[in-house]
Amino acid sequence: MTEVSRTVPAHGIELACESFGEPDDSPIVLIMGLGAQMIAWPDELCRLLADAGYFVVRFDNRDAGLSSHLRDRGAPTPVAVLTRRSRPPYSIDDMADDTAGLLRALDVAPAHVVGASMGGFIAQALALRHPEKVRSLSLIMTSTGSRLVGHPRLSVAARLTRRRPELDREAAINSVVETFRLIGSPGYPFDEARMRDLAGRSYDRAYDPGGVLRQLAAVATQPDRSRRLSALGVPTVVIHGMDDPLVAVSGGRALAKSIPGARFVGFPGMGHDLPRELWPRLAEVICATAAAADAQGSVTP
């Protein structure tokens, strides 16, 4: 098992990435969500995928972790994000083009693409903008971009769009723990020790509240992709927590309905996180979708 970390040029910026497994195996690329770094993809889950015969790549999105931070573009206020009064620093499409650049730089296209939350938005945009680079899609706790589905609970929306002051390390860790107590999986034990460890490592790698707001502005201004998704022709699975308080399950159901042949897999008790108890099942579902695509030699026309 190999684990390689490096930084590559992509779409005019630098993206930090890590890989698990053998480069000759079929590639799986993991795209993480809002404000999260690539280490939010559990090492154990990455190894489960690699042990199943895949070359697994995870990376930091722009404005996260060790990838480029676009501080020169400023940081919109939460009010500006919500009211869309100002032009966002960049778009979900820009982040999809980043991912396409990463795939090109690593020479792993077409790849099986797995996106969680905002990463699911990016994965959809990647498949629409760069169809030749996508073999299959596994879309986790995400939606179509439509304002009619996937609504967060009010308490969750209020927390995620609150003012983000600079915090010291301990306060930042506490804030992450409080957020995931709110959005996490009610049907599974809350692993506070793991969450504190992840939050601390993330703070030490890169702490940038402004970057979260820039990403949030991209999410808030994304288009409704529902009609365009009907053009996708790759094997797709939509995975969603049936108790997700951030992206309601209506978003996942609408997404599965919009993509021809997509399969919907709902997990009771799962919220807006990746509980340890589901890692084997998540790996199984992702690998089944990837295997179906590899068997078909499927690439979007």
CB 91, CB 221: distance < 8 Å: yes
Whether 89 shows a pLDDT value over 70: the answer reads: yes
Structural domains counted in the chain = 1
Domain membership flag for residue 76? yes
Q: What is the tens place of the pLDDT at every residue in 277-287?
A: 999 999 999 99
Q: List pLDDT tens digits, range 10-40.
A: 999 999 999 999 999 999 999 999 999 999 9
Taking only the tens place, the pLDDT of each residue in 187-236 is: 999 999 999 999 999 999 999 999 999 999 999 999 999 999 999 999 99
The pLDDT value given to residue 79: 74
Considering the domain boundaries, does residue 261 fall inside one? yes
CB 242 within 8 A of CB 119: no
**Residue 56 domain boundaries:** 3-296
User: What per-residue confidence (pLDDT) applies to 137?
Assistant: 98
At residue 177, φ and ψ (nearest 5 deg) are: -60, -45
Mean confidence (pLDDT) of the chain = 94
In a domain, 301, yes or no: no
pLDDT reported for residue 231 = 96
pLDDT of residue 164: 67
Residue at 50 is within a domain: yes
pLDDT score, position 299: 42
DSSP lists the bridge partners of residue 113 as 29, 137
- Residue 135 makes CB contacts below 8 A (sequence gap 6+) with 26, 110, 111, 112, 113, 234, 290, 293, 294, 298, 299
Instruction: Give per-residue pLDDT as tens, 153-193.
Output: 988 887 777 766 789 999 999 999 999 999 999 999 999 99
Residue 297 has pLDDT above 60, yes or no: yes
Structural domain contains residue 228: yes
- Look up the CATH number of the domain holding residue 226: 3.40.50.1820
